[in-house]
């Protein structure tokens, strides 16, 4: 198989620990990890807030943080030849966002700001929620970026059906710091999203204990459009790799055109 064929997407997710509040140390660590990923890979996802950990000192995030993170990501994508997806806390004119970055090897990038801010942490109090759904066109694949708590909201994640063009996206790509105490919900919801949206799902979660003493136990996974597990990890640092096939996705959607019968939602 030609892995660079746009009908297939070779994807990697990096399940790893994050050094609390130490951006440069995380840069160095993840650069070493990225070196281990086969060059045939076309897209790699890192955990949510890979450079600091979730909500580490958000009131101390400088305005130049976004350009620093983006420059590092662009350097890595150019060096390794695959796109990288992850999130970081950024400061835009005094407003803080949990921002998803999708950076391509040519330096082009797309961002998505986390829509659902976690009410059981300071995220809801200190950050600004995003308002726009984003779908990324990469190598002929429609990719839907999402962040952690977004997973609990099926209307927001609904794969919108259009009678002329079909589904809005092919792959839901989720970066998270999901706690071990609620990992059962994580596993169930990911499988449900793949089935109900007839899409691939790639979800990367961190491992280890963060600076707020919250335990994370991974369970990163890549699922197909039937909810079948293509790659899965439990606890521990690991790189998962799987091939997504567009022709298989199209065949399944053509055979089971459930989207045409779906309810139409309007989000305000």
Q: Which residues are catalytic?
A: 48, 114, 148
Per-residue burial over 118-127, b if 16 or more Cβ lie within 10 Å, else e, is beeeebeeeb
Angle at 221 between CA 1 and CA 248, to 5 degrees: 40
Question: What is the sign of the dihedral through the CA atoms of 87, 76, 107 and 94?
Answer: positive
Place of tokens 């439990």: 234
Phi then psi for residue 60, to 5 deg, are -110, 10
113 Cβ partners below 8 Å, 6+ apart?
97, 98, 99, 100, 128, 129, 130, 131, 132
- Contact between 161 and 154 under an 8 Å Cβ cutoff? The reply is no
**Taking the CA of residue 167 as centre, how many other CA atoms within 13 Å lie in the half-sphere pointing to its CB?**
30
182 Cβ partners below 8 Å, 6+ apart?
none
- Rounded to whole angstroms, the Cα distance separating 117 from 232 reads 26
Coil, strand or helix at 243: strand
Residue 261 gets which letter from DSSP? G
- Contact between 191 and 224 under an 8 Å Cβ cutoff? The reply is no
Which residues are 112's β-sheet partners? 100
- Contact between 240 and 233 under an 8 Å Cβ cutoff? The reply is yes
């Amino acid at each position: 198989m030609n892995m660079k064929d746009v009908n297939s997407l070779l994807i990697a997710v990096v399940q790893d620990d994050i050094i609390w509040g130490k951006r440069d140390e995380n840069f160095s660590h993840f650069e070493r990890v990225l070196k281990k990923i086969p060059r045939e890979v076309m897209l790699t996802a890192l955990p949510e807030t890979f450079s600091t950990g979730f909500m580490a000192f958000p009131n101390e995030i400088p305005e130049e943080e976004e350009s620093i993170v983006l420059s590092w990501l662009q350097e890595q994508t150019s060096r390794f030849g695959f796109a990288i997806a992850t999130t970081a806390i950024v400061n835009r004119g005094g407003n803080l966002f949990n921002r998803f970055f999708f950076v391509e090897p040519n330096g082009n990038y797309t961002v998505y700001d986390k829509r659902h801010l976690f009410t059981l942490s300071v995220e809801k109090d200190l950050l600004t929620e995003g308002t726009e759904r984003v779908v990324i066109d990469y190598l002929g694949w429609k990719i839907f970026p999402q962040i952690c708590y977004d997973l609990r909201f099926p209307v927001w994640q609904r794969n919108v059906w259009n009678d002329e063009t079909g589904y809005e996206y092919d792959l839901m790509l989720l970066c998270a710091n999901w706690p071990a105490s609620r990992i059962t919900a994580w596993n169930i919801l990911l499988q449900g999203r793949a089935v109900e949206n007839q899409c691939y799902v790639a979800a990367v979660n961190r491992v280890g204990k963060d600076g707020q003493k919250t335990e994370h136990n991974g369970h990163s996974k890549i699922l197909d459009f039937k909810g079948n597990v293509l790659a899965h990890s439990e606890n521990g640092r690991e790189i998962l790799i799987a091939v997504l096939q567009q022709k298989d996705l199209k065949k399944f959607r053509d055979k089971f055109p459930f989207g045409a019968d779906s309810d139409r939602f309007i989000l305000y």
